[in-house]
Amino acid sequence: MTRYLKIYGALWQNSVVREMGFKTNFLLWILVEFLWFALQLSFIAVIYQHTDRIVDWTKWQVVLLMSVSHFIQQLFTATFLTNCVQISEHIRTGRMDFLLLLPINTRFLVSLRQVDLGAYVNAASAIAVIIYAGIQLQLTPTLVQVACFLLMCFAGLLIHYALMFLLAVSSFWTVKAQGIVWGYYNLFNIARLPDSAFRGGFKVVFTFVLPMLLVSNVPAKILVNKLSSPLDMLLLVGMSAGLLIVSEAAWRFSLRRYTSASS
pLDDT reading at 139 higher than 70 = yes
Q: Give the pLDDT confidence of 95-126 residue by residue, as tens digits.
A: 888 999 888 999 999 999 988 888 899 999 99
Average pLDDT, the chain: 88
Short-list 80, 114, 139, CA closest to 12: 114
Q: Which comes out higher in pLDDT, residue 141 or 210?
A: 141
Q: How high is the pLDDT of residue 144?
A: 93
Q: Which comes out higher in pLDDT, residue 151 or 229?
A: 151
Portion of the chain with pLDDT greater than 70, in percent: 97
Q: How high is the pLDDT of residue 178?
A: 67
Q: How high is the pLDDT of residue 181?
A: 72
Domain limits, the chain: 2-256
Q: Give the pLDDT confidence of 27-85 residue by residue, as tens digits.
A: 888 888 889 899 989 988 898 888 888 888 999 999 999 999 999 999 999 999 889 88
The amino acid at 65: L
Burial of 228 (0-12, 13-18, 19+ CB in 10 A): exposed
Q: How high is the pLDDT of residue 261?
A: 64
Q: How high is the pLDDT of residue 177?
A: 65
Q: How high is the pLDDT of residue 107?
A: 94
Q: Give the pLDDT confidence of 159-194 residue by residue, as tens digits.
A: 999 999 998 888 888 766 667 777 777 777 777 888
E strands in 31-137: 53-54, 57-58
pTM: 0.90
Q: How far apart are CA 211 and CA 37, in angstroms?
A: 22
Rounded average pLDDT over 195-205: 83
Short-list 171, 184, 152, 169, CA closest to 247: 169
Q: Which comes out higher in pLDDT, residue 109 or 261?
A: 109
Question: CB under 8 Å to 136, separation ≥6 — which residues?
Answer: 60, 63
Q: How high is the pLDDT of residue 28?
A: 85
pLDDT reading at 260 higher than 80 = no
Rounded average pLDDT over 149-156: 95
Output the CA–CA distances (angstroms, integers) from residue 3 to 10, 103, 113, in the order listed.
11, 12, 15
Rounded average pLDDT over 219-237: 90
Question: CB under 8 Å to 202, separation ≥6 — which residues?
Answer: none
